[in-house]
Amino acid sequence: MGKPDILILKLSSNGDIDPGCNFVNESNADVSDSSISPTDTAIIPEDKDIVFQDTNAATRESDAIVYSLCSGQHTLSLTATSGGTTNPPPGTHVYDHATRISIIADPDDEYHFSEWTGDASGTDNQLSITMDSDKSIQANFVGYEVVWEEAKKTPCFIATAAYESPSHPHVRILQDFRDKYLLNNKLGRKFVEVYYRYSPFAANLIETNKGLKVAVRMNLLPLVAICFSMVNFGPVITGVIFVVILMLPVFFMSTLRKK
């Protein structure tokens, strides 16, 4: 079953429709007198006992599709800085008025999408806009070397909140591990990017809860120890130490059984 259509006419002060509407034309209808004759009616008005009441009607979003028949088309000019592209691709695109479109920023390897500028703003790589006018939008990308140089100046949010200072020795160890190992490969940089996006929320919770601070400190100790070994002794010696630590319980259990 189809859904009903609604036609809304926006009229000027003298009752005219915008002359830009291409469906408004001169009519060749012939006007003639009709044979209708007015007569008196026998309708008698009466008072009614209608009682007005409040309703619980609530507005809600609909899936109605809006088409504007008079507003024509609009031009979208898309550009991108070096280091990435967009979908739809950079260039000039024409859309009908009120069309809702989605634009995706696609960075190249070793580049990061930073923000939208022009007639739109935001840092999410997917942007939704409504074409209600001509628009010019640019996707901006920066190289990861720039991003990570800035990241090196940023403390570890969760560790800083737990130890109450960005200069705490344990925080420094975690930062050194980040700079030496995580920021030097694509997977590590992706991890750091996600961490910086979501860890401030957790850090705010830790800062306001003393018990949580203690718990986080205790849970960070093994990680701090591994990072300290990786930074100072390298992955090979750290791996050997880790294997020895894992084997110690097995060795002691075996010795006890022999006794």
CATH for 85: 2.60.40
- Number of domains comprising the chain: 2
Q: Which residue has the tokens 């990435």?
A: 84
185 band by pLDDT with thresholds 50, 70 and 90: confident
225 band by pLDDT with thresholds 50, 70 and 90: very high
Within-domain flag for 10: no
For 169-195, b/e burial (b = at least 16 CB within 10 A) is: ebbbbbbebbeeebbeeeebbeebeeb
152 band by pLDDT with thresholds 50, 70 and 90: low
The residue ranking higher by pLDDT, 20 or 219, is: 219
Q: Which of 144, 160, 192 is the last residue of a domain?
A: 144
Within-domain flag for 67: no
7, 109, 124, 157 from 80: Cα distances, Å: 39, 15, 15, 32
- pLDDT at residue 70 above 60? yes
DSSP 98-118: TEEEEEEEEEPTTEEEEEEEE
* pLDDT value for 246: 79
Q: Which of 108, 126, 144 is the last residue of a domain?
A: 144
Within-domain flag for 32: no
Domain span holding position 172: 152-258
Q: Which of 87, 122, 144 is the last residue of a domain?
A: 144
pTM over 0.85: no
- pLDDT at residue 85 above 80? yes
